[in-house]
Amino acid sequence: MVKFNAKNLNIWFGQIHALKGVNIEIEANEILSVIGPSNSGKTSFLRMLNRLNELHANFRMSGWLEFDREEIKRINVESLRKRVGMVFALPLPLPLSIFENVAYGVRMHGEKNRGKVAGIVEGALKQAYLWDEVKDRLGVSAFKLSGGQQQRLCIARTLAVAPEVILFDEPCSGLDPISTAKVEEAMLRLKKDYTIVLVTNNVKQAARVGDRTAFFLSGELVELDRTQKLFTAPADRRTDGYIRGEFG
Amino acid sequence: MRKLKEFFVERLILICGLASIFFVILIFLFLTKEGLAVFKSVRPLDFLLGRNWYPISEPAQLGILPLIFGSLLVTLGAAVISIPIGVACAVYIAEIAPLKIKEVLKAGIELLAAIPSVVLGFIGMVTLVPWVKTTFHLPTGLTALSGSIILAFMAMPTIVSIAEDALYSVPKSYKEGAFALGATHWQTIYRVLLPAASSGIVAAIMLGIGRVIGETMAVMMITGNAAVIPHSILVSVRTLTATIAAEMGEAVVGSEHYFALFAIGIVLFIISFIINVTADLFLHKRR
Amino acid sequence: MRNTQRSQKIAFFFLFLATLLIVVPVGLIVVIIIQKGLPAINWQFLSDIPRQGMRAGGIFPAIIGTFYLVLGAIIFALPIGLLAAIYLSEYAKDNILNRIIKLAIVNLSGVPSVVYGLFGLALFVVFLRFGASILSGSLTLGIMILPIIVTTSREALESVPQSFREVSLSLGASKWQTIRHIVLPNAIPGILTGTILGLGRAAGETAPILFTVAAFYLPQLPKSIFDQAMALPYHLYVISTQVPNVDEKIRYGTALVLLFLVLFMNLVAIIIRYNFRKKKKW
**The 3-state secondary structure of chain A, one letter per residue:** CEEEEEEEEEEEECCEEEEEEEEEEEECCCEEEEECCCCCCHHHHHHHHCCHHHHCCCEEEEEEEEECCEEHHHCCHHHHHHHEEEECCCCCCCCCEHHHHHHHHHHHCCCCCHHHHHHHHHHHHHHCCCHHHHCCCCCCEHHHCCHHHHHHHHHHHHHHCCCCEEEEECCCCCCCHHHHHHHHHHHHHHCCCCEEEEECCCHHHHHHHCCEEEEEECCEEEEEEEHHHHHHCCCCHHHHHHHCCCCC
Beta strands at A31-35 and A195-199: parallel, antiparallel or unpaired: parallel
Provide the pLDDT for residue B103: 86
Average pLDDT, chain B: 91
Higher-pLDDT residue of A156 and C220 is: A156
pLDDT at res. B125: 93
Q: Give the pLDDT of residue C158.
A: 93
**Per-residue model confidence (pLDDT) at position C2:** 67
Q: What integer is the mean pLDDT of C126-133?
A: 92
CATH number for the domain that contains residue A228: 3.40.50.300
Asked if A158 is an interface residue toward chain C (Cβ–Cβ < 8 A), one would say yes
Neighbours of chain A (3+ CB pairs under 8 A): C
- Inter-residue contact C37 to C252 (CB < 8 Å): yes
> Domain C59-279 - what CATH class?
mainly alpha
pLDDT tens-place string over residues B202-216: 999 999 999 999 999
Position A159 confidence tier, pLDDT thresholds 50, 70, 90: very high
Quote the pLDDT of residue A61: 93
Nearest-CA distance from C32 to chain A in Å? 47
Sequence-distant contacts of A124-127: CB under 8 A, at least 24 apart: A124/A156, A124/A157, A124/A159, A124/A160, A125/A153, A125/A156, A127/A156, A127/A159, A127/A186, A127/A190
Q: Which CATH class for the B65-286 domain? A: mainly alpha
Q: What is the pLDDT of residue C95?
A: 84
Q: Rounded to two decimals, what is the model's pTM?
A: 0.89
Domain assignment of residue A185, yes or no? yes
Cα C243–Cα C244–Cα C245 angle in degrees, nearest 5: 125
pLDDT for residue B287 is more than 70: no
Measured CA to CA, the distance from residue B158 to residue B154 in angstroms comes to 8
Q: Tell whether A36 lies on the interface with C, counting CB pairs under 8 A.
A: no
pLDDT beyond 90 at C85: yes
Cβ contacts from A onto C, under 8 A? 64
DSSP assigned state of C49: P
Sign of CA dihedral B191, B197, B203, B209: negative
Tell me: pLDDT of C1 over 60.
no
Taking CB atoms and an 8 Å limit, are C112 and B115 in contact across chains? no
Give the pLDDT band (50/70/90) at residue B118. very high
Residue of chain B nearest C80, judged by CA positions:
B16
- The DSSP letter of residue C282 is -
Q: Name the residue facing C281 among A55, A104, A143 (closest C-beta).
A: A143
Q: Are A78 and C94 a contacting pair at CB < 8 A?
A: no
Q: Taking 70 as the threshold, does the pLDDT of residue B286 lie above it?
A: no
Tell me how far apart the alpha carbons of residues B156 and B158 are, in angstroms, rounded to a whole number. Answer: 5
Neighbours of A170 (CB within 10 A): 21
pLDDT digits (tens, 9 = 90+) for B144-197: 999 999 999 999 999 999 999 999 989 888 888 888 888 889 999 988 999 999
Tell me which chain C residue has its CA closest to the CA of residue A159: C171
Q: Please state, rounded to an integer, the average pLDDT across all residues of chain C.
A: 91
Instruction: Check B186 against C11: CB less than 8 A apart.
Output: yes
Question: What is the pLDDT, as a whole number, of residue B2?
Answer: 78
Cα nearest neighbour of A51 on chain C: C170
Q: Report if residue A20 sits inside a domain.
A: no
Tens of pLDDT, residues A132-154: 999 999 999 999 999 889 999 99
Q: Give bridge partners of residue B224 from the DSSP assignment.
A: B237
Mean pLDDT, chain A, integer? 92
Q: What is the pLDDT of residue B110?
A: 87
> What is the pLDDT, as a whole number, of residue C49?
85
DSSP C88: I
Residue C280 has a pLDDT of: 65
3-class DSSP state of B218? helix
Nearest-Cα residue of chain C relative to residue A48: C170
Q: How far is CA A76 from CA A7, A105, C228, in A?
A: 21, 16, 54
Task: Tell me the per-residue pLDDT of B2-48, one tens digit each, with 9 for 90 and over.
Answer: 788 999 999 999 999 999 999 999 999 999 999 999 998 888 888 88
C231-264 pLDDT, tens per residue? 999 999 999 988 888 888 899 999 999 999 999 9
Q: What pLDDT is attached to residue B153?
A: 94
A10 is a domain residue? no
With 60 as the cut, is the pLDDT of residue B58 above it?
yes
For chain B, the structural domain boundaries read: 65-286
Q: Fill in the amino acid letter for A23.
A: N
Number of folded domains in chain A?
Answer: 1
**pLDDT of B74 higher than 80:** yes
Question: Which structural domain, as residue segments, surrounds residue A156?
Answer: 27-51+76-243
Whether C98 and B17 have beta carbons less than 8 Å apart is answered as no
Residues C268, C273: Cα–Cα separation, whole Å:
9
Query: Which residue type is seen at A185?
Result: E
Chain C neighbours (≥3 Cβ pairs under 8 A) are A, B
Q: Residue B59, preceding bond cis, omega within 30 degrees? A: yes
